[in-house]
Amino acid sequence: MIRENQAMIQPLRLGVNIDHVATLRNARGGRHPDPVRAARLAAMAGADGITAHLREDRRHISDEDITRLIGASDVPLNLEMAATAEMTAIALRHRPHAVCVVPERREERTTEGGLNVAGQRKNLEPVIRRLGDAGIRVSLFIEPESAQLEAAVAVGAPVVELHTGAYCEAIGAARDHELARLADAADRAAALGLECHAGHGLGYDTVGAVAALSPIVELNIGHFLMGEALFGGLDGAIRSMRALMDQARA
Ligand code: PXP
């Protein structure tokens, strides 16, 4: 029986988002700290992939960072990008392992909500098709809602990433409610045949409950890890996060 349960447990991958290594570097405009060095260290500490968001305004990750990450990192790159012609051309040129399509507004501090997939069907469909044809795994960053999951299937996306921001920010009963939304959405994604990822805002106190949702196979985590790295080092922060994920999944 135990063996059967173990066989059913899907491994949970950790994607480490290195955007804020670039944020710190850009504060002075030099070359230190280097996001590629952080990517290498993350891989050694147990990351299964590196995530980087190339924003329209290049506020953190730069075009050169993407070129260097593709060339130097020995872990798969998940490129976060808006579904624009410019970003699609960049992705097709570099052919990262994966692309996560996110909504983007210039004035936001971070990605504030999920994509309105149904409302953007005309724009998203050709982007997903072109990236998929190039062998890139495409995910859509969405709120944990049935309507968005169904729209993701309709536009041909193989993967969704559920926005965990509302869960991480909520307290008390509201947090339980947000966790239930994530659990329902993860089950619905699996029933629809979508690969399910999650991320945004996760830290040591919130990662366990999300990692315990068995349909989820990848978490993408950045800001908290970089903040923790200031106090105890990046290697230790990633290893601690990895251990919490593995514990919850087991
Ligand atoms: N997933 C997506 C789609 C994101 O946009 C971000 C933030 O760039 C993350 C995950 C990671 O969020 P955080 O930095 O809060 O851990």
User: Taking a C-beta distance cutoff of 8 angstroms, is the pair 217, 190 a contact?
Assistant: no
CA atoms within 13 A on the CB side of 11: 5
- Let me know: does 186 contact 167? Beta carbons within 8 Å: no
β-pair partners for 163: 199
In the three-class reduction of DSSP (H, G, I as helix; E, B as strand; rest coil), residue 124 is classed as: helix
The answer, yes or no, to whether any atom of ligand 1 lies below 6 A from the CB of 110, is yes
Q: What pLDDT sits at residue 113?
A: 84
- Residue 102 CA to ligand 1 centre (angstroms): 10
Torsion of CA 181, 186, 191, 193, to 10 degrees: 140
Whether the CB of 221 sits within 6 Å of ligand 1? yes
CB 96 less than 6 A from any atom of ligand 1: no
Other CB atoms within a 10 A radius of the CB of residue 32 amount to 9
The Cα–Cα gap between 163 and 224 comes to 15
Work out which ligand 1 atom sits closest to the CA atom of 221: 16
Rounded Cα distance between 198 and 128, Å, is: 19
Which one of 20, 94, 163, 200 is the catalytic residue?
A: 200
* pLDDT (0 to 100) of residue 75: 84
Give me the long-range contacts of 5-9 (CB less than 8 A, separation at least 24).
8/214, 9/214, 9/249, 9/250
pLDDT tens digits for the chain (250 residues)? 444 444 567 899 999 999 999 999 999 999 999 999 999 999 999 999 999 999 999 999 999 999 999 988 678 999 999 999 999 999 999 999 999 999 987 666 766 789 999 899 999 999 999 999 999 999 999 999 999 999 999 999 999 999 999 999 999 999 999 999 999 999 999 999 999 999 999 999 999 999 999 999 999 999 999 999 999 999 999 999 999 999 999 9
CATH code at 9-249: 3.20.20.70
* Residue 124 φ/ψ, nearest 5 degrees: -75, -40
pTM confidence score: 0.95
- Per-residue pLDDT at 73: 66
Which one from 80, 104, 161, 195 is the annotated catalytic residue?
Answer: 80
Q: What is the pLDDT of residue 106?
A: 63
State yes or no: is 20 an active-site residue: no
Q: Residue 72: its pLDDT value, please?
A: 82
Say yes or no: CB of residue 218 within 6 Å of ligand 1: no
